């Protein structure tokens, strides 16, 4: 149990209501910060008196070089949707809260919160004494400024949708701020737990204007130092970052002196650079190629960390177009494909089979999905097709041209051929595929997504959902998906999400295939590196063994 | 002369405007816009959200309107802002100019140091194995597109032999050369040279081929001239005859071609920079097309077109200085 667990353990607060507990936690954390600050000074005095702390001293210092495949577009958290940018400014900025893999919300800049006005108003108590890298205070006014800028049409933020029905943030006092929503918004934590809604230094934003994205100023564990386009970004330690959070073991400033992101676009040289210790980490979106994972695992002095991504790959059946409008045809096609074969050939087996639209790593996945989903049975598939009167089918399959997706499509094509269905694959680059798929002219769509909450079902299956490729318009499903957005009781909400998944399986809207693996490769002298559940990496805990 | 200059500049301006318009119009024909690109991989943005974002970013205007308002901006000295990178297009381009220039100039340098001796040798040893070798190399260079040469080089030197890095950029070679000289340590320079070698060679191949043929044929032409026979009769050694008297005259057409080649090489960087992930204007332009970032497409094409046209103009003017026989006459 670390210090954070000890301070926030509900068992130490008997008889307190949930609301009272959050205030107690906030009081304890603030007291801890003060105490630790004094303790830190004591350690300094002790150090200057010649008393050494070898265990701690060993973890200090060093420059960590991280290889990845692409460069961020901008480091202004409100002006990008790029994963690479998000990874980078996660180190520079602090968000209001963080989330753990069970969906629990953890205090970060906000120490506690309270829902008011039928859950349309959330009052946050902020951590006192936090300063931005430019020395200005990270207080309620900064939070209100950040929210105002995110919602401002002049910012034209592509991530504004993450804020939901947020109207404004009101400053109550120096460390109290209220987020005001026009309707209750259960999934507010998805955004607030990520860095797109992180708190920006108002002084820096006003001073730098459009250049803020090239010189970002936040309060995070690392400060921005320099950025050379297409070659590298350097961040240095923020000595004032003394937060404690369940996601950090380290409640003092980061151990590393600096981190450098190096862009190496091609896979082979990136792996060679890791082998030669030119870089110590390969992390980030698609940075460790799954088709070369076996090779990376064989490298000397290199460790590979893997876990199932919060994702799902599958085929969405178009329910508004013959013949996939027929349930029997959808069932037959689902039974004709051996998912495991697709996973083996598309990703070299680096993934986990999926049985529900929600990928297997989501906490809200339907527990008995595997039992009720159609099983691989080509003979039964043929019989069903005959029953449906659908002989000699010729189907078009639309996909993006990502190499793994393309391979998956080819396996599916072969599998369906075995039951007498001809498939024509139409693979085009991502954005074009999205435009084509929205037209709804194909019976089969290869779809994949990444998300950090079960609310993704709204996006995939609700009639207004942006990834509702199969044109599903089931009133019961829409109703459940709308209601789960207003349900603050996690158990009740999970039940609704489960029911939606059950309907999707029964109706065979999707053929879920698999979730891919997120992989990180590190040199074996890199310590305390976590390949986290949401694929976010925090370098605060990481240190280099001498 | 002045009238000629004015006419040339005006026609150059027209060419630039047309190029920028055609490229931006063609890039609009590809399905999907910048908002579709931003949405990719980010489920959750509804059609309504996207419509609002399009409005805010100003990307839903018709091609012609975008173009005219952009043109207006240029006359006010504003190259616009990148929609994706959210910074000034002028700054983004300026950051990438050195890498592109370095690549193009290195290729030009390579083209000259290889083509000059090879062309001269071929001319002097006409009909021998050396001449045939030169001919084969030139034919190959003219016939094979540079991106294919780039890919072949990567396959051979990076994948098979593992001598050179396949892609990337470590910083300026010129700067490294200066640092290496100061520290008297060649390793810094070699570390950067490794990255520029393959892109420069694949870019230079076409120019090497062309220049070799050109130098060979002009040399052959010059060698047969009477004044060379006269020099020989005077007792001037063969070496001096070829390198001093023949080469000088043979170089006139080459110099003008080389000037024009710099333009072609800058154009070639658009493809080569993408093959080798070289962070120059060419890569920026192609990325901006991929992102559907229209202001950045327009700005990078505009700058590239201006450079190309300016080089051509400069060559035309320098032409006269090199060869006084050339006159600009009004037809």
Domains annotated on chain A, with CATH: 55-280+525-545 (3.40.190.10), 311-517 (3.10.105.10)
pLDDT of amino acid B244: 78
pLDDT digits over A138-190, tens only?
Answer: 999 999 999 999 999 989 899 998 898 999 999 999 999 999 999 988 889 98
Cross-chain Cβ contact A156/B84 below 8 Å? no
Q: Is the pLDDT of residue A37 over 60?
A: no
* B167 vs A76, A269, A431: nearest CB: A269
Instruction: State whether B112 and B43 are in the same domain.
Output: no
Smallest Cα distance from A518 to chain B, Å: 15
C-alpha A44/C-alpha A59 separation (Å) is 16
| pLDDT band, very low/low/confident/very high, at B194 (cuts 50, 70, 90) | confident
pLDDT of amino acid A39: 43
pLDDT of amino acid A15: 67
Handedness of CA A530, A534, A539, A541 (dihedral sign): negative
Q: Is the pLDDT of residue A42 over 50?
A: no
Q: Are A246 and A106 in contact (CB under 8 A)?
A: yes
| pLDDT band, very low/low/confident/very high, at B69 (cuts 50, 70, 90) | confident
Which chain A residues in 218-257 lie under 8 Å from chain B, judged by CB atoms? 228-231
Taking the Cβ of residue A264 and every Cβ of chain B, the question of whether any pair is shorter than 8 Å is answered with yes
Q: Are A329 and A323 in contact (CB under 8 A)?
A: yes
C-alpha A278/C-alpha A275 separation (Å) is 8
What average pLDDT does range A9-37 have in this prediction?
A: 65
* Helix H or strand E encompassing A514: strand A510-523
Instruction: State whether B284 and B213 are in the same domain.
Output: yes
Smallest Cα distance from B36 to chain A, Å: 6
pLDDT of amino acid A46: 39
B190 is a domain residue: no
Which residues have a Cβ under 8 Å from the Cβ of B119 and sit 6 or more positions away? B134, B211, B212, B213, B214, B215, B216, B219
Cross-chain Cβ contact A161/B86 below 8 Å? no
pLDDT of amino acid A181: 95
Counting Cα atoms < 13 Å in the Cβ hemisphere of A345 gives 17
Taking the Cβ of residue A158 and every Cβ of chain B, the question of whether any pair is shorter than 8 Å is answered with yes
pLDDT digits over B100-149, tens only?
Answer: 989 999 999 998 898 888 888 888 888 888 889 888 888 888 899 888 88
**CA-to-CA separations, A133 to A36, A179, A219, A232, A237, in angstroms, rounded:** 21, 25, 6, 21, 10
Q: Is the pLDDT of residue A23 over 80?
A: no
Q: Poorest-confidence range of A25-29, A224-228, A421-425, B326-330?
A: B326-330
pLDDT digits over A123-138, tens only?
Answer: 999 999 899 999 999 9
Q: Is the pLDDT of residue A1 over 60?
A: no
- On chain B, the residues whose CB falls within 8 A of the CB of A272 are 162, 165
| pLDDT band, very low/low/confident/very high, at B66 (cuts 50, 70, 90) | confident
C-alpha B254/C-alpha B256 separation (Å) is 5
Q: Is the pLDDT of residue A480 over 60?
A: yes
What average pLDDT does range B42-70 have in this prediction?
A: 80
C-alpha A335/C-alpha B134 separation (Å) is 63
Q: Is the pLDDT of residue B75 over 90?
A: no
Handedness of CA B168, B171, B177, B181 (dihedral sign): negative
Instruction: State whether B7 and B123 are in the same domain.
Output: no
Q: Is the pLDDT of residue A121 over 90?
A: yes
Instruction: State whether B221 and B253 are in the same domain.
Output: yes
Instruction: State whether B31 and B112 are in the same domain.
Output: no
- Report H helices in B125-246: 129-143, 146-153, 173-183, 186-223, 226-233, 238-240
Q: Are B273 and B282 in contact (CB under 8 A)?
A: yes
Q: Is the pLDDT of residue B261 over 80?
A: yes
| pLDDT band, very low/low/confident/very high, at A231 (cuts 50, 70, 90) | low
CA A301, chain centre distance (Å): 29
Q: What is the CATH number of the domain that holds B105?
A: 1.10.3720.10
Smallest Cα distance from A24 to chain B, Å: 35
Taking the Cβ of residue A449 and every Cβ of chain B, the question of whether any pair is shorter than 8 Å is answered with yes
Instruction: State whether B63 and B111 are in the same domain.
Output: no
pLDDT > 90 in chain B, percent: 3
B180 is a domain residue: no
C-alpha A316/C-alpha B329 separation (Å) is 70
Taking the Cβ of residue B171 and every Cβ of chain A, the question of whether any pair is shorter than 8 Å is answered with yes
Task: Supply the DSSP string of B226-265, one letter for each residue.
Answer: HHHHHHHHTT--HHHIIIIIIHHHHHHHHHHHHHHHHHHH
pLDDT of amino acid A52: 40
Task: Characterize B221-232 residue by residue with b for buried, 16 or more Cβ atoms within 10 angstroms of its Cβ, and e for exposed.
Answer: ebbeeeebeebe
| pLDDT band, very low/low/confident/very high, at A38 (cuts 50, 70, 90) | very low
Taking the Cβ of residue B5 and every Cβ of chain A, the question of whether any pair is shorter than 8 Å is answered with no
C-alpha B254/C-alpha A275 separation (Å) is 47
Is the pLDDT higher at A428 or at B250? A428
CA A322, chain centre distance (Å): 36
**CA-to-CA separations, B255 to B6, B21, B259, B261, B264, in angstroms, rounded:** 25, 32, 6, 10, 14
| pLDDT band, very low/low/confident/very high, at A308 (cuts 50, 70, 90) | very high
pLDDT digits over B161-172, tens only?
Answer: 888 877 778 778
Q: Is the pLDDT of residue A266 over 80?
A: no
pLDDT of amino acid A205: 96
Q: Is the pLDDT of residue A479 over 60?
A: yes
pLDDT digits over B27-46, tens only?
Answer: 777 777 888 888 776 777 87
Smallest Cα distance from A431 to chain B, Å: 5
Cross-chain Cβ contact A156/B87 below 8 Å? no
Smallest Cα distance from A40 to chain B, Å: 40
Nearest Cα neighbor of A404 from A344, A450, A320, A361 is: A344
pLDDT of amino acid A78: 94
Q: Are A475 and A462 in contact (CB under 8 A)?
A: no
pLDDT of amino acid B232: 84
Which chain A residues in 513-542 lie under 8 Å from chain B, judged by CB atoms? none
Q: Are B66 and B21 in contact (CB under 8 A)?
A: no
| pLDDT band, very low/low/confident/very high, at A51 (cuts 50, 70, 90) | very low
| Highest-confidence segment of A483-487, B163-167, B290-294 | A483-487
Question: Residue B155 gets which letter from DSSP?
Answer: I
Residue for token pair 């149990």: A1
In this structure, what token pair is assigned to residue B259?
A: 């000037």
B87 is a domain residue: no
Taking the Cβ of residue A467 and every Cβ of chain B, the question of whether any pair is shorter than 8 Å is answered with yes
Q: Is the pLDDT of residue A56 over 80?
A: no
Other CB atoms closer than 10 Å to residue A537's CB: what's the count? Answer: 20
Instruction: State whether B27 and B100 are in the same domain.
Output: no
Query: Mean pLDDT, chain B, as a whole number?
Result: 83
Instruction: State whether B25 and B115 are in the same domain.
Output: no
Instruction: State whether B212 and B74 are in the same domain.
Output: no
Instruction: State whether B219 and B278 are in the same domain.
Output: yes
pLDDT of amino acid A134: 95
Taking the Cβ of residue B45 and every Cβ of chain A, the question of whether any pair is shorter than 8 Å is answered with yes
A&B contacts, CB < 8 Å: 123
C-alpha A68/C-alpha A65 separation (Å) is 10
Cross-chain Cβ contact A434/B277 below 8 Å? no
Taking the Cβ of residue B237 and every Cβ of chain A, the question of whether any pair is shorter than 8 Å is answered with no
C-alpha B317/C-alpha A332 separation (Å) is 74
pLDDT of amino acid A34: 58
Quote ipTM for the complex: 0.73
Task: Supply the DSSP string of A166-226, one letter for each residue.
Answer: EEEEEEEETTEEEEEESS--TTHHHHHTSSTTPPP-HHHHHHHGGGGGGS---SSSEEEEE
pLDDT of amino acid B323: 64
Q: Is the pLDDT of residue A523 over 60?
A: yes
Cross-chain Cβ contact B166/A449 below 8 Å? no
- On chain B, the residues whose CB falls within 8 A of the CB of A431 are 31-33, 36-37, 40, 292
In this structure, what token pair is assigned to residue B217?
A: 């044929």
C-alpha A434/C-alpha A384 separation (Å) is 31
Query: Mean pLDDT, chain A, as a whole number?
Result: 87
C-alpha B19/C-alpha A316 separation (Å) is 42
Q: Is the pLDDT of residue A481 over 90?
A: yes
B294 is a domain residue: yes
Q: Which residues pair with A179 in a beta bridge?
A: A122, A169
B91 is a domain residue: no
Smallest Cα distance from B162 to chain A, Å: 10
B71 is a domain residue: yes
Other CB atoms closer than 10 Å to residue B14's CB: what's the count? Answer: 11
Task: Supply the DSSP string of A136-151, one letter for each residue.
Answer: -B-SHHHHHHHHHHHH
C-alpha A453/C-alpha A463 separation (Å) is 19
Total domains present in chain B: 2
C-alpha A153/C-alpha A32 separation (Å) is 40
Instruction: State whether B69 and B117 are in the same domain.
Output: no
* Helix H or strand E encompassing A394: strand A394-400
- On chain A, the residues whose CB falls within 8 A of the CB of B290 are 429
What average pLDDT does range A472-487 have in this prediction?
A: 91
Smallest Cα distance from A190 to chain B, Å: 11
C-alpha B225/C-alpha A421 separation (Å) is 76
pLDDT of amino acid A10: 66
pLDDT of amino acid B56: 84
- On chain A, the residues whose CB falls within 8 A of the CB of B53 are 156, 158, 160
pLDDT digits over A368-394, tens only?
Answer: 999 999 999 999 999 999 998 887 889
* B44 vs A161, A229, A231: nearest CB: A161
Handedness of CA A498, A499, A501, A506 (dihedral sign): positive
Smallest Cα distance from B51 to chain A, Å: 11
Domain end point (choices B78, B113, B133) = B78
pLDDT digits over A313-365, tens only?
Answer: 999 999 998 899 999 999 999 999 999 999 999 998 999 999 999 999 998 99
Nearest Cα neighbor of A107 from A27, A185, A36, A34 is: A27
In this structure, what token pair is assigned to residue A205?
A: 């934003």
Q: Are A513 and A340 in contact (CB under 8 A)?
A: no
* A211 vs B42, B87, B96: nearest CB: B87
Instruction: State whether B15 and B114 are in the same domain.
Output: no
* A210 vs B33, B88, B162: nearest CB: B88
Residue of chain B whose Cα is closest to the Cα of A79: B86
Q: Which of B40, B86, B176, B275 should one mutate to test binding to chain A, selecting the residue with the greatest count of A CBs within 10 A?
A: B86
- Report H helices in A299-377: 327-336, 339-347, 369-372
Domain end point (choices B49, B78, B107) = B78
C-alpha A332/C-alpha B59 separation (Å) is 43
Range of the domain at B69: 2-78
């Amino acid at each position: 149990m670390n210090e954070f667990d000890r301070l926030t353990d509900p068992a130490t607060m008997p008889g307190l209501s949930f609301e009272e507990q959050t205030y107690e936690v906030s009081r304890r954390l603030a007291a801890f910060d003060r105490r630790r600050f004094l303790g830190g000074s004591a350690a300094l005095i002790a150090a200057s008196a010649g008393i050494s702390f070898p265990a701690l001293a060993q973890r200090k210092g060093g420059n960590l070089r991280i290889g990845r495949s692409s460069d961020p577009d901008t480091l202004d958290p409100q002006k990008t949707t790029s994963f690479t940018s998000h990874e980078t400014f996660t180190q520079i900025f602090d968000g209001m809260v963080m989330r753990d893999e069970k969906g629990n919300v953890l205090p970060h800049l906000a120490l506690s919160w309270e829902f008011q006005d039928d859950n349309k108003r959330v009052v946050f108590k902020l951590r006192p004494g936090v300063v931005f890298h430019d020395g200005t205070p990270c207080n309620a006014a900064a939070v209100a400024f950040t929210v105002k800028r995110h919602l401002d049409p002049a910012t034209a933020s592509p991530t504004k949708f993450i804020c939901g029905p947020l109207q404004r943030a009101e400053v109550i006092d120096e460390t109290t701020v209220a987020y005001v929503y026009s309707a209750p918004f259960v999934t507010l934590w998805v955004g607030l737990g990520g860095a797109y809604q992180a708190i920006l230094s108002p002084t820096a934003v006003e001073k730098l204007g459009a250049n803020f994205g090239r010189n970002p100023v936040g309060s995070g564990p690392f400060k921005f130092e320099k950025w050379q386009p297409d070659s590298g970004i350097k961040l240095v330690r923020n000595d004032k970052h003394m937060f404690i959070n369940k996601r950090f073991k380290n409640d003092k400033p980061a151990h590393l002196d600096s981190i450098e992101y190096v862009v190496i676009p091609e896979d082979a040289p990136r792996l060679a650079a890791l082998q030669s210790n030119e870089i110590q980490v390969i992390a980030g979106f698609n940075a460790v190629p799954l088709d070369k994972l076996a090779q990376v695992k064989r490298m000397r002095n290199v460790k590979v960390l893997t876990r199932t991504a919060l994702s799902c790959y599958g085929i969405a059946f178009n329910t508004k177009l013959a013949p996939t409008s027929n349930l029997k045809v959808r069932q037959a096609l689902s039974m004709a494909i051996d998912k495991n074969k697709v996973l083996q050939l598309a990703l070299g087996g680096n993934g986990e089979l999926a049985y529900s639209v929600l990928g297997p790593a989501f906490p809200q996945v339907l527990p008995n999905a595997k039992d009720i989903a159609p099983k691989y049975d080509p003979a039964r598939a043929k019989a069903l097709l005959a029953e449906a009167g659908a002989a000699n089918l010729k189907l078009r399959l639309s996909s993006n041209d990502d190499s793994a997706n393309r391979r998956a499509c080819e396996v599916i094509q072969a599998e369906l051929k075995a039951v007498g269905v001809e498939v024509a694959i139409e693979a085009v680059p991502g954005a074009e595929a999205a435009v084509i798929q929205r037209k709804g002219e194909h019976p089969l769509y290869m779809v994949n997504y990444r998300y950090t909450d079960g609310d993704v079902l709204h996006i995939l299956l609700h009639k207004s959902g942006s990834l509702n490729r199969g044109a599903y318009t089931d009133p019961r499903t829409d109703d459940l998906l709308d209601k789960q957005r207003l349900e603050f009781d996690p158990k009740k909400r999970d039940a609704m999400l489960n029911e939606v998944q059950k309907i999707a399986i029964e109706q065979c809207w999707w053929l879920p295939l698999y979730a891919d693996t997120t992989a990180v490769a590190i040199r074996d002298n890199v310590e305390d590196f976590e390949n986290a559940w949401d694929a976010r990496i925090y370098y605060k805990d990481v240190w280099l063994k001498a | 002369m002045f009238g000629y200059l004015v006419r040339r500049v005006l026609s150059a301006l027209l060419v630039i405007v047309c190029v920028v318009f055609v490229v931006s119009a063609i890039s609009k024909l590809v399905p999907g816009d910048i908002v579709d690109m931003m949405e990719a991989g980010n489920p959750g943005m509804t059609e309504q959200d996207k419509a609002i974002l399009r409005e805010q970013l100003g990307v839903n205007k018709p091609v012609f309107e975008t173009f005219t308002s952009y043109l207006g901006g240029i006359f006010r000295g504003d190259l616009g802002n990148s929609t994706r990178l959210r910074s000034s297009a002028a700054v983004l381009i300026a950051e990438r100019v050195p890498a592109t220039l370095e690549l193009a100039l290195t290729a030009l340098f390579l083209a000259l140091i290889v083509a000059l001796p090879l062309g001269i040798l071929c001319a002097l040893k006409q009909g021998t194995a050396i001449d045939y070798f030169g001919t084969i190399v030139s034919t190959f260079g003219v016939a094979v597109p540079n991106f294919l040469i780039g890919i072949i080089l990567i396959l051979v030197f990076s994948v098979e032999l593992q001598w050179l890095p396949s892609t990337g950029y470590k910083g300026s070679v010129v700067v490294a050369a200066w640092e290496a000289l100061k520290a008297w340590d060649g390793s810094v320079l070699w570390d950067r040279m490794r990255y520029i070698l393959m892109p420069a060679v694949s870019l230079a191949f076409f120019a090497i081929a062309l220049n070799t043929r050109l130098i060979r044929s002009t040399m052959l032409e010059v060698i047969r001239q009477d004044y060379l026979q006269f020099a020989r009769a005077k007792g001037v050694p063969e070496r001096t005859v070829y390198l001093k008297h023949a080469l000088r005259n043979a170089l006139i057409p080459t110099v003008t071609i080389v000037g024009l080649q710099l333009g072609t090489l800058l154009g070639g960087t658009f493809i080569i920079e993408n093959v080798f992930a070289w962070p120059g204007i060419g890569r920026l332009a192609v990325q901006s097309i991929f992102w559907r970032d229209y202001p950045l497409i327009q700005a990078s094409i505009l700058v590239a077109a201006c450079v190309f046209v300016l080089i051509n103009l400069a060559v035309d003017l320098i032409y006269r200085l090199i060869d006084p026989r050339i006159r600009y006459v009004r037809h």
